[in-house]
Amino acid sequence: MGTEYDNYSPDTENTFFGVRLDRFDRLRETISADRKALFGLITVIGFILAAVLAPELAPFDPMAQEYTIMQPPSLTSAHPLGTDSFGRDLLSRIMFGARISLGVSLGAVFIAAVIGVTLGLVAGYYGGLVDDTIMRFIDVLWAFPWLLVAIMLVAIFGQSVWNVIIAIAFAYIDDFARIIRGEVLSIREEEFVMAAKSIGVDDVNIMIDEVLPNAVAPLIVQFTVLVARAMLAESTLSFLGIGVKPTTPTWGALLGQGRSLIGQAWWISIIPGIAIVITVLGINLFGDALRDTFDVRQRGGS
């Protein structure tokens, strides 16, 4: 039924968008206690900063093909991460790549969240035939490898950032739908919902005001975890050449471009790969810290 998260509080005054205020303290505790969580937080912040401030911070124009080609990385040179076969600065490309990766991942997971939460709310709240139909649809979605959807979209509509976002979003709708539906099912019977209904509060308001706040915690955790997976998914698609347009410098695309030059210029592929690994690892660790913060049962765990 509902998840094991203990975030619920009918008293909505001590909350910030549905998250109990004391959870922020717990989060601070978790992060200071656990080095992994701290690493996660730092990485996430660094990633976001790099993405947002890329235009200001990047030393060179990521598309400019003016520099000595295939320079290996070296701390003393103007191009600390080296250059690629077109003479483009790798560091700048990576920084700008962060923007697109961030945008795509956040966009995909956000869309999946909006659709999934809506479906889950409706299914859980109304139950019966509505529930069955929606869940059947979700099951079909669930059985689908997202790669297939991506392939179809790209095959038909060509390569673009939006196609990647939609394809990836497809894969995560069911996660959100199931979480919310579970929460709704367990909250639905709670007294205060019945109380609200008896005063005549409208259905939609009930769902938004009473059900959502309790579900915020697992949703946040799931969101974070899925952003990490979305980044991996996007990089795979771009690597395969069925993701964003070839000129767009996402990390996966950078990797793909460097593939044929592995022998001579390993850094063109390896370094973007390292960027992916560190960022995804950071997001995963941070997501784990969030999960520990919200999940009462895990307190004092490893």
Partner 1 sequence: MGIKRYIAKRVLQAIIVVYIVATAVFVAVRSVPGDPARLVLGGTAEPDALAAVRAELGLNQPLHIQYLRWMSDLVTADFGTSIYTGEAVLSRILGAAEPTLSIGLIGIIIALFISIPAGIISATRRSQWEDHVATGIAFLGISMPSFWIGIVLLLTVGTAIPSIPSYGYAPINEGLLSWLSHIILPGLAVGLPYAGILTRMTRSSMLEVLNQDYMQTARAKGLSPRLVLLKHGLQNALLPVVTIAGILFALLLAGIVAVEIVFGIQGFGRLLIRSIERQDFPLVQGSVIVISIIFVFMNLFIDLVYMSINPKIRYGSDT
- Residues that bind partner 1 in the complex, under the rule CB under 8 A: 36, 140, 142-148, 151-152, 154-156, 171, 228, 232-233, 235-236, 239-242, 252, 255, 259, 262, 266, 269-270, 273, 276-277, 280-281, 284-285, 288, 301-302
Q: CA distances (Å), 15 to each of 144, 184, 261, in order?
A: 38, 20, 53
Q: CA distances (Å), 211 to each of 16, 27, 144, 145, 206, in order?
A: 15, 23, 29, 31, 7
- Least separation in angstroms between CB 167 and partner 1: 11
- Least separation in angstroms between CB 260 and partner 1: 11
Q: Which is nearer to partner 1, 156 or 199 (CB)?
A: 156
Q: Report d(CA 18, CA 217) in Å as an integer.
A: 8
- Least separation in angstroms between CB 225 and partner 1: 10
Q: Which is nearer to partner 1, 107 or 252 (CB)?
A: 252
Of 214, 211, 215, residue with least CA distance to 201: 211
- How many separate helices (H) and strands (E) can be counted in the chain? 11, 2
Q: CA distances (Å), 162 to each of 4, 72, 243, 278, in order?
A: 35, 34, 10, 25
- Least separation in angstroms between CB 181 and partner 1: 17
- Least separation in angstroms between CB 153 and partner 1: 9
Q: Which is nearer to partner 1, 168 or 187 (CB)?
A: 168
Please name the residue that has the structure tokens 């579970």. 182
Q: Which is nearer to partner 1, 110 or 266 (CB)?
A: 266
Q: Which is nearer to partner 1, 106 or 147 (CB)?
A: 147
